[in-house]
Amino acid sequence: YILKLILRDIRKEYNGACILHGLSYTFESGKVYGISGGSGSGKTTLLRCIAREYDYTGTDTVIEAGKSFFKTDVFEYALLDKEIVMPRMITPRQYIKQCIKEHKGSIFGCSLEEYTELFGLPADKLDVVIKRFTGEELQIIQMIAVSIIKPAVVLMDEIIGYFVIPQLFFEALSESIVI
């Protein structure tokens, strides 16, 4: 079945200024969506509303799975942005193995070293403590983890400008809604 993320009449205000004006849209799994607009147009605000990091008014966002509807807090989502949240005192090898174990994930029959190199993270960095990584390297580790976890909804905010996202990332998320 196709998952659908349904937004209905989403409204968000900051200090009396309306940022989102009754936005309604349906996103489907298996597709990659882009949101464009100038600085301050509400792109990040929309993603944070979907992720439930910001309160908003209007009808609730829901996920449709077949003939069933669920509030979005029932489904797993990932918000990839500049504010990377992950443990800093372990290595990428430990972090990725934990993601595989906890989420019964897979890495397409590759070795861990081969898989991470497909994303641009060299095998010789797998045993370096995460706190020593650059912002771009942290985003790569985050993308690897998301490709293993395969959440229902993946929200990407301002990360594409840093590096080329490998096709493997989108293949791994073929059943997810990617915005």
pLDDT digits (tens, 9 = 90+) for 68-117: 666 656 567 888 887 888 899 999 999 999 999 888 877 777 889 999 99
pLDDT of residue 108: 76
36-71: buried (b, 16+ CB within 10 Å) or exposed (e) per residue?
Answer: eeeeeebbbbbbbbbbeebebebeebbbbbeeeeee
pLDDT of residue 135: 86
In order of 23, 25, 50, 85, 115, the CA distances from 62 in angstroms are 14, 11, 10, 25, 33
What percent of the chain has pLDDT above 70? 91
pLDDT of residue 161: 53
Strand 3-14 and strand 57-65: the pairing is antiparallel
75-111: buried (b, 16+ CB within 10 Å) or exposed (e) per residue?
Answer: bebbbbbeebeeeeeebbbebbeebbeeeebebeeee
The answer to whether the CB of 95 falls within 8 A of the CB of 141 is yes
- For the chain, list residues with pLDDT below 50: none
pLDDT of residue 167: 86
